Amino acid sequence: MHPSLDQVQKLLRDELKKAAGPPGENIPIMLERPKEAGHGDIATNLALLLAPRLKKSPREIAQTLVAALSLPEDILEEVEVAGPGFINFTLSRSFLRRGLRELLRCDESFGKLTTGQGKRAQVEFVSANPTGPLTVGHGRQAVLGDAVARILENASYAVEREYYFNDAGKQIRLLGQSIKAQYLRLSGEDASIPEGGYQGDYVEGLARRFMEKRGSLSPPPAEEEFTVFGREEAFAGIKRTLFRLGIHFDRYYSERSLFDSGRIENTIHALRAAGLAYDKDEALWLAGSTLGLDQDWVMVKSTGEPTYRLPDIAYHIHKLEQGYDLIVDVFGADHQATYPVVLAAVSSLGHDASSIEVLIHQFVTVKRGGREVKMSKRKGDFLTLDSLIDEVGTDAVRYFYLLRVRNSHLAFDVDLAVKESEENPVFYVQYAHARTAGILRHAKERGFSEPGMDCDADLLGEGEELALIRQLLVFPEVAAQVLKTLEPQRITVYLREVATAFHQFYQHHRVIGDEPALSRARLSLVKACRTVLSRGLGLLGVSAPDRM
């Protein structure tokens, strides 16, 4: 059985720990992948960390460590002390070749992790109120949440995607009132949009559709009918948009259902019973200060209506009761103040909230014509996610969003994104995949059988070939790292590296040539590369086209 890169690392760790002996107590063995090509495949700074304790020069310590290591011969080609005292390990050709065969054997399951085997995870994201179309801002959330779900699925978690929507509060009522006002206007009556109501063209459109369906009624239908209509229409639109992005939810969780099921009432009772809630000014307050928060928060307004925090708490308790092993909440930066309150309240009621992972992403601003477009849904001045997909295409939209770390602000320059449909980074990677597919197609036409692990990998010895194999074998490590950090953008960085290694290989070496054995070996490498590219793109939810 060929050891994976992961197992090699474990072996190195054990050996280094042994070699360091007692002075190495409590020093974590750090293994890293050097960014410099000449620094081997794996490096450790152990000698540098030991130096202060041993009061010897790091290089000298490194030499001693290297001498004490006992490692299987066929794994490493070179172990070298370099720079200030790093130990660089270079994998052997035979290891790389065996790794390639292993990759081919695993095929589509290469890089699949078993971390979440038998575990259930829930990812909640988007959760936009059904009051209008999704915006460019929601897009980031949608794509990020879906990529996180895919990453968890790759780690064998049973993943549920959940969308929590508010159909009980003030916003949805305002939508109904706004549509009604537009409806009355269409009927020639004088009506004004309520304070804080929704103004965009789409509200007028909704009113128009309502009228087409129901006609001009006098007296007009009750406000509730407009609300229901508006919500259904908005939701249908949201689902259409998500469908275009390849995103589907397993469950849409209604806030109203929390009231109907009595969960809101139960939460209030629990908070009161725990002495965490008190009445003041005819409102119900959460005693944040006793929970370690810096202030108290209103849970139920003096009008008798709960603020959004109470349903949020009840909702999260319900999540926890379902026994997920992992719960991921994807929130925009505007929720940053809310979730600590929710988590504190949930914990103080005796629930273990440690399975909840909150991912906050920063806002998206939209630039158009060199100017920033201010987005306000209520004023109807926003760029819809749909229009962005129209202009840029699904793959580019997804990839573009995933290129950024979630904690950095994303300025979506629409003009640039459209222009980049020619030069967009996603095409670089997709093109590499299309090239692999093209070569494999060509090989089949020329009568080559399906490439696989029966090839003679020893024939692969060119620099570009070995560099590509190295790159491919890192994939499981990337998958593991991404699982830990839930940062999909690392995949985009990795995929670019793979694509570059492949394009370089392609440029310098002809795959299908005069020597059948060499051709077969290279075809296997191409197939392996195609597998990794398609697996990586799959984690991002971006298509891997066979032709472009």
Of residues 180 through 219, those in contact with RNA by CB under 7 A are none
Q: Which is nearer to RNA, 249 or 401 (CB)?
A: 401
Q: Do 301 and 283 meet the contact criterion of CB atoms below 8 Å apart? A: yes
State yes or no: residue 351 binds RNA (CB under 7 A).
Answer: no
The distance of closest approach from Cβ of residue 353 to RNA in the complex, given in angstroms and rounded to an integer, is 18
Phi, psi for 56 (deg, rounded to 5): -130, 165
State yes or no: residue 272 binds RNA (CB under 7 A).
Answer: no
Site for RNA in 356-385 (CB under 7 A): 360, 362-363
363 three-state secondary structure: coil
State yes or no: residue 349 binds RNA (CB under 7 A).
Answer: no
Q: Do 546 and 434 meet the contact criterion of CB atoms below 8 Å apart? A: yes
The distance of closest approach from Cβ of residue 310 to RNA in the complex, given in angstroms and rounded to an integer, is 9
Interacting residue with RNA among 73, 195, 303, 370 (CB under 7 A): 303
Site for RNA in 215-244 (CB under 7 A): none
Site size toward RNA (CB under 7 A) is 89
To which residue do tokens 């629990």 refer?
A: 270
Site for RNA in 98-117 (CB under 7 A): none
The pattern of x and - marking residues 406 through 445 that bind RNA according to CB under 7 A reads: -xxxxx-x--x---x-xx-x-xx--x--xx--xx-xx---
To which residue do tokens 């495949």 refer?
A: 41
Q: How far apart are CA 502 and CA 468, in angstroms?
A: 6
35 three-state secondary structure: coil
Q: Do 48 and 58 meet the contact criterion of CB atoms below 8 Å apart? A: yes
Q: Which is nearer to RNA, 160 or 464 (CB)?
A: 464
Beta bridge partners of 135: 384
Q: How far apart are CA 20 and CA 174, in angstroms?
A: 68
253 three-state secondary structure: strand
The distance of closest approach from Cβ of residue 211 to RNA in the complex, given in angstroms and rounded to an integer, is 28
State yes or no: residue 503 binds RNA (CB under 7 A).
Answer: yes
Site for RNA in 81-100 (CB under 7 A): 82-84, 86, 88
Q: In one letter, which amino acid is 168?
A: A
Interacting residue with RNA among 301, 349, 380, 394 (CB under 7 A): 301
The distance of closest approach from Cβ of residue 87 to RNA in the complex, given in angstroms and rounded to an integer, is 8
436 CB burial (10 A radius; 0-12, 13-18, 19+): buried
Listed residue (112, 100, 110, 109) closest to 452, CA to CA: 100
Q: Which stretch binds RNA (CB under 7 A): 114-122, 182-190, 202-210, 336-344?
A: 336-344
The pattern of x and - marking residues 448 through 487 that bind RNA according to CB under 7 A reads: ---------------------------------------x
State yes or no: residue 500 binds RNA (CB under 7 A).
Answer: yes
State yes or no: residue 390 binds RNA (CB under 7 A).
Answer: no
Q: Which is nearer to RNA, 106 or 428 (CB)?
A: 428
Q: Which stretch binds RNA (CB under 7 A): 50-58, 228-236, 242-250, 345-353?
A: 50-58
Radius of gyration of the chain (CA): 29
Phi, psi for 147 (deg, rounded to 5): -65, -40
Q: Which is nearer to RNA, 187 or 543 (CB)?
A: 543
Q: Do 384 and 135 meet the contact criterion of CB atoms below 8 Å apart? A: yes
Q: How far apart are CA 329 and CA 123, in angstroms?
A: 6
The distance of closest approach from Cβ of residue 172 to RNA in the complex, given in angstroms and rounded to an integer, is 9
Listed residue (362, 351, 281, 291) closest to 321, CA to CA: 351
Q: Which is nearer to RNA, 187 or 254 (CB)?
A: 254
The pattern of x and - marking residues 7 through 36 that bind RNA according to CB under 7 A reads: -----------------------xxx-xxx
Listed residue (501, 379, 505, 519) closest to 444, CA to CA: 519
State yes or no: residue 335 binds RNA (CB under 7 A).
Answer: yes
Q: Do 507 and 438 meet the contact criterion of CB atoms below 8 Å apart? A: no
C-alpha distances out from residue 150 to 75, 140, 301, 539, Å: 33, 15, 40, 5
Interacting residue with RNA among 158, 191, 211, 283 (CB under 7 A): 283
Q: Which stretch binds RNA (CB under 7 A): 65-73, 304-312, 342-350, 472-480?
A: 304-312
